[in-house]
């Protein structure tokens, strides 16, 4: 999956599906949950320094991605 969503992990982790307005769903995936995680609502949290990709996939197959660079985690 080259393009995906704003949020959860592709490698080994399960995607998080969140209900969105009018019964539609958006799934969020992080390419590396060790670097950053993403909630079903799309909130990204840095875990440790590094880079990953957050993917967002809509109920009708529209896919987007954003690169995340965590400089310093909490």
Kindly list the domain boundaries of the chain, sorted by start residue.
16-69
Sequence-ordered list of residues with C-beta below 8 angstroms from that of 30, at least 6 positions apart, any chain: 7, 8, 9, 10, 13, 36, 37, 38, 44, 52, 53, 54, 55, 68
> What is the distance between the alpha carbons of residues 34 and 26, in angstroms, rounded to a whole number?
22
Q: What is the pLDDT of residue 42?
A: 87
Q: How many whole angstroms from its chain centre is CA 27? A: 8
Q: What is the pLDDT of residues 9-61, one digit of tens each?
A: 444 444 444 444 456 788 899 999 999 999 988 889 999 999 999 999 988 88
> What is the distance between the alpha carbons of residues 24 and 20, in angstroms, rounded to a whole number?
5
Q: pTM above 0.85?
A: no
Q: What is the pLDDT of residue 22?
A: 57
């Amino acid at each position: 999956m080259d393009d995906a969503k704003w949020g959860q992990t592709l490698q080994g982790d399960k995607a998080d599906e969140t209900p969105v307005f009018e019964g539609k769903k958006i799934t969020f995936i992080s390419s590396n949950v060790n670097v950053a995680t993403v909630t079903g609502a799309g909130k990204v949290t840095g875990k440790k320094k590094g880079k990953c990709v957050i993917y967002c996939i809509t109920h009708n197959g529209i896919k987007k991605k954003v690169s995340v660079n965590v400089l310093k985690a909490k």
